[in-house]
Chain A
Amino acid sequence: MAKTIDLFQVADEELEARSRFTCRIKTCASTACLSAGAGPVRTALEQAVAAAHAGHDIEVVPTGCMGLCSKGPLVRAEPRGASPTLFEQVTAEGGRAIAETFTGQRSEPDVTVLDESIPFFTQQRRVVLKSAGKINPDRLEDYVAEGGYRAVLTALTEMTPQEVIEVIRDSGLRGRGGAGYPTATKLGLLADAQGETKYVVANGDEGDPGAYMDRTIMEDDPHRVLEGIILAAYATGASQAYIYVRAEYPSAIERLERAIRDARRHGLLGRNILDNSFRLDVAVRIGAGAFVCGEETALMASIEGKRGTPSIRPPYPTERGLWGAPTMINNVETLANLPEIIAGGADAFASVGTGSSKGTKVFALAGKLQHTGLIEVPMGITLRTIVYDIGGGIPNGRSFKAAQTGGPSGGCIPAAHLDTPVDYESLRALGSMMGSGGLIVMDDTVSMPEVAKFFMEFCMDESCGKCVPCRAGTVQLHELLGKICDGKATRADLQLLESLSWTVRDTSLCGLGQTAPNPVFSTLHYFRNEYLDLVAGGR
């Protein structure tokens, strides 16, 4: 039997325990830093502390992503009563030096300090990633000390499900999975649906090339995702939830499973959550990593153990979803916004962003930039700020050519539109889309037809094969683009590329095929000359 957690007591004890350390050294244990060698850094830190018998004074805390992945492994020393220092590109040797500095064995470590007052950090606004990189994701107490699960407590004890939905409606939250559907509307549909069992599904499939927003959220702050799921389930009357994660995300899976176990043990999941009559079970479901399985109907088929192919809507999942029962599918980031909305209020959330796009968005910033990594920015920020301030501009004396947003479903935005605010409508008006948060910056060495070909190859490989235009059309589009890039195409080929693109867009069954031609459309729109130059080289 689970013993119900006293959130306030646990938070107090945790803060008290932390204050006993003279210094807490946080070391990034997220995937990017781990692949840059953060594992040995952590070992070195721990060994140095142990060797100095300083375990009572210095705590080494493995955390999630600190953001500036291109400078990893990152280590942040937080001495009590003094300002913290962030170290970049730390080696095992450097880790030992950092630890020895705080045990008093040496005066200065020979490790480069990363200035946290650079725009990369100051221009961000962290809501979803509030605790990421600050807490140990494997400890429920760490999350509780940050105010975690208070939103669930408030909702269960002071609010009706309808009131929860109303607050979310007032916040203006829209889905972060790509299309920007109003979250409260979806919650309302599931709440109104009739059914013995209703399901909530957190979509953590994240198949866009170069994107790792959702992985980071799940790895670095799994309890925030769980809290969001509990809130969504309470608001809609769902009693079972699934988190759908691709097998390529083993540490996300591991941390989520641990979080689920811990939450259950503390009475935050299962029967009588926090001693209220509400019950909810959550389980992780592992996908095989097909991009199309992020599409909601394919995702449900995959959870049911069937072939991961999309099916025709209607019926929509909230009418007939998993095993025929009403089901709501939300993106992981969408759900991770809910705790802050309920705890901090709709107004505070809506004070950030633009008229129709509220709150923040997490982006995986990649490509030709000084600084790449994971960022969370207020909606409405301009692309220019992201590229030149946060990203630090284009390296190697090259210039900006285009920003690609929305992954294989999105488009390329040229320099002329750098001052566009990043919100759902503005990006769509430019022929791109918000997408789930991939943002790739390209410099003037990049050929745009090549970019279109790259994304088309991705869609071709990821097509499930169920409908003809996507299965066979992407093959032909890819072939046409190859012909163009090779300088072997004619004007007629270019025309065929366009008309086939329209057909694939208008006749494909699901979003994969419907959006697969978007990179072609947007590069043709903004960089038509590059196509014409290549075609002129043909017959």
Chain B
Amino acid sequence: MANRRARPNGLNVTIDGVEMSAVEGESVLDVARRAGAAIPTLCYLDGLSVHGGCRVCLVEVDGEHAPRLACSTPVTDEMEVRTATEAITEHRRIVVELLFAEGNHICAVCVSNGSCELQDLASEVGMDHVRFPYQYPDRAADASHPKYVFDPQRCILCTRCVRACAEIEGAHVWDVAARGADSYLVTELNLPWGEAPSCTWCGKCVTVCPTGALAFKGRAIGEMEHDTDLVGFLARARTEGEWEGRS
């Protein structure tokens, strides 16, 4: 959990050559963001538990033989972190290419075109084309809910919706079914979303979705904007009684 009051007698951490002080319990990502390093994230979202599935926040840590996840690795004293080496950038690019090849991501017809974290990330890592064959999975959309639509073609299985629903709303409507490349999101025990009795219509799943997989009904191409700060705000309001930071 982010702790933004770093004490001077805390830990010394170097991020891309910038010396930072940090306190025990902070993650590499917490400190790197304070240092102004642009570590990309997809499954991570402030306010939700750490998932560690998307792998795009990987960084190099001195003395470690393999990259470490910025979101889940706690800082230690004298830690030296590099957030954008050539190898890291290439790994991130491949991971983004894999995501594009795995789903059916066609920005030109997507509700989230222009406000999509996957799209932003693709341009950030310089993905001009995808080197892997597209898998064109056959996935049907679920438009049974009166207010929202779920289009699994655009789902990257980051599980933000699963966690927001279970952890913040307490409803646990969403979950992952099947395994491997066949994994998909289900509502309830595989009921159509519109028939899911536990759904409270709160829409938190929609607000946290990084892509156009979850959207408000009736939005046209490029009209869907997500409010990804909401769950972080709610979590802080709850645990720390802090109500500032949102207008």
Contacts and interface: CB of A to CB of B under 8 A. Distances in A.
A444 B101 CA distance: 37
Contacts of A514: 66
Given A311-B52, A312-B69, A507-B91, A464 B179 contact: yes
Nearest to B65: A506
Contact of B58 (A312, A479, A496, A507): A507
Nearest to B102: A472
**What range describes how many residues of B lie at the interface?**
35 or more
A503 B94 contact: yes
Nearest to A477: B132
Contact of A462 (B66, B133, B180): B180
A468 B55 contact: yes
Contact of B133 (A461, A479, A506): A479
B109 interface: no
Interface string A507-518: 111000010000
B120 interface: no
Contacts of A471: 102, 157, 180-181, 183
A468 B180 contact: no
Interface in B42-87: 50-55, 58, 66-67, 69, 72, 74, 87
B101 A465 contact: no
A460 to B, nearest CB: 6
Nearest to B74: A314
Contact of A509 (B53, B132, B133, B178): B53
B176 A307 contact: yes
B180 A465 contact: yes
Interface string B20-59: 0000000000000000000000000000001111110010
Interface string B120-133: 00000000000111
Given A312-B50, A472-B101, A467 B55 contact: yes
B99 A468 contact: yes
Contacts, number: 96
A388 to B, nearest CB: 36
Interface in A273-299: 290
A479 B183 CA distance: 19
A123 interface: no
Contacts of A467: 52-55
B90 interface: yes
B64 to A, nearest CB: 11
A503 B55 CA distance: 10
Contact of B55 (A307, A461, A509): A509
Nearest to A492: B131
Contacts of B69: 312
B179 A463 contact: yes
B52 A509 contact: yes
A476 B55 contact: no
Interface string A438-469: 00000000000000000000001111111111
8 contacts: A290-B179, A462-B179, A463-B180, A466-B51, A472-B102, A473-B98, A499-B90, A509-B55
Pairs of residues from A and B, 3 with the lowest C-beta to C-beta distance, nearest first:
A465-B183, A472-B98, A463-B180
Given A469-B98, A472-B101, 9 more contacts: A461-B180, A468-B54, A471-B157, A472-B102, A479-B133, A503-B91, A506-B91, A507-B91, A509-B52
